[in-house]
Amino acid sequence: MLFRQLEYLVALSRERHFARAAQACYVSQPALSEALRKLEEELDVPLVRRGRKYEGLTPEGERIVVWAQRILADRDALKDEVDVLRSGLSGRMRIGTVPTASGAVAQLTGPFCAAHPLVTVEVIADMQSVDILRQLQNFELDAGVTYLREDVSEGFHTVPLYRERYVLLLTAADGLARRTSATWAEASRLPLCMLTPAMQGRRVLDELFARAGTQPSPRLETDSVAALFAHVRTGRWAAIVPHAWLHVFGVPHGMRTVPLVEPAAAVPVGLVIAAREPGSVMARALTDIARSTDVASALERVPGDPGR
């Protein structure tokens, strides 16, 4: 059994297509197929359901791909440990974040890269919490930044980073802009620009609206934080945004922020890594950075907000 054969199996499971799996592994499709056939012969079990095209893994293949992911992750962890002993931390670290935390993660990657200049960091910034947890378990991510809810418990280690608060972002000409606070019910009556319902940040807002006994009727929905700010900047829409976004984007000219109350919610956000030993060297190093960095205080600094 070769590591390469396991890599082919994991790639096929992920891509669900022989040609795409071969391309991801930089080999020809016949070479990938032959390597998988030899792995099946060695293990004496069928791994792939074959027809005129890829039909999926067999039940045996589904179980073995989990072992393959674990073995490959342990191999990578061993290489990382050796590299650290030889010349310091190096390689590639993969971080997944929910969209609302994509700006806050820079508070970690900045000091991390300063401490480990040989590491390349990849941030995947538009992920849902459930996908972050799944990819951590499947060794596809080293760390995640997401909401610390009940499903983030067994099987994961967490480091709380900050509590996500929400503010109403609206044109200075609106009467609510002169207030010291606004209710969720009042916000629901505005022409809102919001994230799409499939995104967890939107689901959090919908839950808060429900707690206030109301629901919004957004005039515009987007899956992009940048698009949301671009539309709000025109003054035609209002938005409810996490305060962490303001640290990154600032407050657009002619706009104001108003804290939301009734309820005055604060949702915990933190760093999440898989609870396994010895685990990813990258994840352990990032955890050390997270424990020594005051992310919450940094996010309180908001440029260009005359309403604060």
pLDDT tens digits for the chain (308 residues)?
789 999 999 999 999 899 999 999 999 999 999 999 999 989 988 998 887 778 889 999 999 999 998 898 888 878 877 776 666 788 889 999 988 888 789 999 999 999 998 899 999 988 888 899 999 988 889 999 999 976 676 789 999 999 998 999 999 888 888 899 999 999 999 999 999 998 878 888 999 999 999 999 899 999 888 899 999 989 899 999 998 888 888 888 888 999 999 888 888 999 999 987 767 788 989 999 999 999 999 888 765 554 44
CATH 1.10.10.10 correct for 3-81: yes
Q: Look up the pTM and report it.
A: 0.68
CATH 1.10.10.10 residue ranges for the chain: 3-81
Residue with tokens 């206030």: 212
Q: Which helix (H) or strand (E) holds 267?
A: strand 266-274
Extract the tokens encoding 82: 């050796």
- Name the phi and psi angles at 153, rounded to 5: -145, -100
CATH 3.40.190.10 residue ranges for the chain: 88-161+267-300
Topology at the third CATH level for domain 163-265: D-Maltodextrin-Binding Protein; domain 2 (3.40.190)
Q: CA 123 to CA 5: how far, in whole Å?
A: 28
What is the DSSP-derived secondary structure letter of residue 89?
S
Topology at the third CATH level for domain 88-161+267-300: D-Maltodextrin-Binding Protein; domain 2 (3.40.190)
Q: Are 276 and 199 in contact (CB under 8 A)?
A: no
The strand pair at 143-147 and 91-97 is best described as parallel
CATH 3.40.190.290 residue ranges for the chain: 163-265
